Copies of this chain bind each other. A is one copy, B any other.
Amino acid sequence: MKINENYLKLQDSYLFSMIGSKVRAFEAENPGSDIIRLGIGDVTRPLPEAVIGAMLKAVEEMSAEKTFRGYPPEYGYDFLREKIRDNDYAARGIDIEIDEIFVSDGAKSDTGNIGDIFSAENTVAICDPVYPVYIDTNVMGGRAGELTKDGLWSDVTYLHCSPENNFLPELPKKAADLIYLCFPNNPTGMGITADGLKQWVDYANEHGSIILYDSAYEAYITEDLPHSIFEIEGAKNCAIEFRSFSKTAGFTGVRCAYTVVPRELEVGGVSLNKLWARRQATKFNGVSYITQRGAEAVYSQEGKAQVRATVNYYLNNAKIIEEGLRSSGFKTWGGVNSPYVWMKTPEGLSSWEFFDLLLKKAGVVGTPGAGFGPAGEGFFRLTAFNSAEKTQQAVERIKNSF
């Protein structure tokens, strides 16, 4: 009897628990202090009315024998897959069929579980800084090697992001089998152009790599950037796309997402669409009927307008942060096509030193960039998910404190 020993290599993640304990300690020492939280990556606005109405109706249906629904289809109800196909793909000129769309309970589940269908021998390329799930799930899957002294994993090809490349990674020098990309990016907030993304698609097709493309923040794009990797020619032969209703429609507490695996996508003649279908049919049992009716309503005329209003609200907060800090001499990235603003810490402070000072001097909580990987050291993430009023106050306080 042995455990999966790769789990023993994982580092405990202290990021958000350390933030929590530091904030609690500060509050204990400074009772009545008015702390503004721009740290979390979680939405705060209520669900769109169209979604609420659809879910109330769906709950009522579950109360009567004639309209009760049992096990949902493992890959999602067609009523939702059709809406996704029509609105997120066909409307952008992308030909994706419903059997290429797999509805799930979250992009975290899907980006975590996708490793199941790939060999443990594959090499991976991952950005630094990055959303930690990509790294941790590959450690669990035995693809990361050993943790080195500099905080990097020996077998991972890191795609270093820094002010020098404007936080847009360059193609790896060493070919990787699986390439994780996320645009607009968490944590840096940077988007990628079609030309930029085309380079990655061409590279993947040339090297036989698969791109795992996380576009959970596509609804925040305001400039002329691709919303889907499948807008890029050749992507269906080399990419899997992860989408979520979490940041788009405020579904973080409702749990619904989807993953697109094109029929064309093959490795050695084996269809990845069929492998993922088999994985989901065997280890997953579909998403709540009520949730899927809620997600469907996101695509109604009313729902679209309400979702757009909420996203615009957050985008306006991002603009307040980004413009406010930049005009005061801070160096910033993101915030234009993303709810995240990424900033250089002032005066050469480390991420955590700045965290402490910001809390003490401004009463503002953010996220230390070092929590997203070694290349995040010296940077800091602020999020747009507080109220407009609090966001404005926080920016004023930061300006006055540094």
Residues of A within 8 A of B (CB): 1-5, 7-8, 10, 40, 42-47, 49, 52, 55-56, 59-60, 62-65, 68-72, 105-106, 108-109, 112-113, 116-122, 133, 136-137, 140, 177-178, 208-210, 250, 252-255, 267-268, 270, 272, 275, 278-279, 282-291
Q: Do residues B52 and A282 form an inter-chain contact, with CB atoms below 8 A?
A: no
Give every chain B residue within 8 A of A140 (Cβ-Cβ).
Answer: 116, 279, 282-283
Is there contact, CB below 8 Å, between A119 and B2? yes
B residues near A45, Cβ cutoff 8 Å: 65, 68
Closest B residue, CB atoms, query A276 = B7
Highest count of chain B CB atoms <10 Å: which of A43, A118, A254: A254
Partner of A52, one of B5, B63, B286: B63
A to B CB contacts below 8 Å, 16 in the list: A1-B209, A2-B118, A2-B121, A3-B119, A3-B272, A4-B116, A4-B118, A7-B278, A8-B270, A10-B278, A42-B70, A55-B59, A109-B283, A140-B279, A140-B283, A255-B285
| Interface pair B289/A62, CB less than 8 Å apart | no
Contacts of A2 in B (CB 8 A): 118-119, 121-122, 177, 267-268
Please, how many angstroms separate the alpha-carbon atoms of A167 and B279 in the complex? Answer: 30
Partner of A285, one of B40, B60, B108: B108
List, in ascending order, chain B residues with CB within 8 A of A120's CB. 4
Known: A119-B2, A270-B8. A288 touches B285 (CB 8 A): no
B106 engages A285 (CB within 8 Å): yes
Give Cα distance in the complex from A288 to B133, angstroms: 20
- Measured CA separation A112–B284 after assembly (Å): 8
Residues of B within 8 A of A44 (CB): 65, 68, 70
Please give me the residue from chain B that is nearest to A256 by CB atom.
B288
A72: B residues at CB distance < 8 A: 253, 255
Question: How many angstroms between the C-alpha atoms of A70 and B59 in the bound complex?
Answer: 20
| Residue with the highest number of chain B CB atoms closer than 10 Å, among A43, A59, A268 | A59
Determine the distance from Cα of A289 to Cα of B43 in the docked complex, in whole angstroms: 14
Contacting pair A282 B65 (CB below 8 A): no
Which has the most chain B C-beta neighbours within 10 Å: A4, A56, A68, A250? A4
User: Is B282's CB under 8 angstroms from A133's CB?
Assistant: yes
Q: A2-B121, A255-B285 are known contacts; what are 14 more A-B pairs with Cβ within 8 Å?
A: A1-B267, A2-B118, A2-B119, A2-B122, A4-B120, A4-B275, A46-B63, A52-B62, A55-B290, A109-B283, A136-B282, A288-B288, A290-B291, A291-B291
Expressed in whole angstroms, the Cα–Cα distance for A349 and B283 within the complex equals: 33
Q: How far is the CA of A367 from the CA of B309 in the complex (A)?
A: 51
- A59 contact set on B, CB distance < 8 A: 52, 55-56, 59, 290
A-B pairs, top 8 by smallest CB distance, nearest first, are A112-B283, A2-B119, A42-B70, A1-B177, A69-B253, A70-B252, A52-B63, A106-B285
